[in-house]
Amino acid sequence: DAGVTQSPTHLIKTRGQHVTLRCSPISGHKSVSWYQQVLGQGPQFIFQYYEKEERGRGNFPDRFSARQFPNYSSELNVNALLLGDSALYLCASSLTGAHNYGYTFGSGTRLTVV
C-alpha cells in the first residue's frame, strides 16, 4: 500500500516565479495538511483540507494557496516566490483530520528559491 506521495522531490525556482507542489494521500484518507519546514526548524502548519474544504490556515501570506481535488489529492501553490520560501514542504494525510493521531507524512518537496 503506497504511503503519502509528493511530487516533485526537488525543485529550483527563481525569485518571483510561481510553484505548484502536489500530494497524493494514503488511499482512504480524506484529509490533507501542508507544512513548511525551514532548515534547522520543526515543520510549521500551512493548510488543512478535508473533503475538499479548507479547514484551517496557518500564519502564511496570501501568496500561499492550496486546494483539494475530488480524489483527495492536493496542490499547494506559492506565487511571487521569495528567497525565504526555500524549505522542505511536507504533506500529511489522515482519515478525517478531526483528530491529531493518524497523520502520515510524505517525504516532502525540497524547494530552493534562487
The footprint of other proteins (CB under 8 A) covers 4, 31, 33, 35, 40-45, 48, 50, 55-56, 58, 90, 92, 97-101, 103-108
Cell numbers found for residue 99 = 483528530
Cβ 97 to other proteins shortest distance, Å? 5
Minimum distance from residue 16 beta carbon to other proteins (Å): 28
Closer to other proteins by Cβ: residue 22 or 55: 55
User: In whole angstroms, how close is the CB of 3 to other proteins at the nearest point?
Assistant: 9
Q: Find the distance separating the first CA and the last CA of the chain, reported in whole Å.
A: 36
DSSP conformation class of 26: P
Q: Given the complex with other proteins, which of 18 and 38 has the nearer CB atom?
A: 38
Question: How buried is residue 103: exposed, middle or buried, by Cβ count under 10 Å (0-12/13-18/19+)?
Answer: middle
Across the strands, what pairs with 13? 113
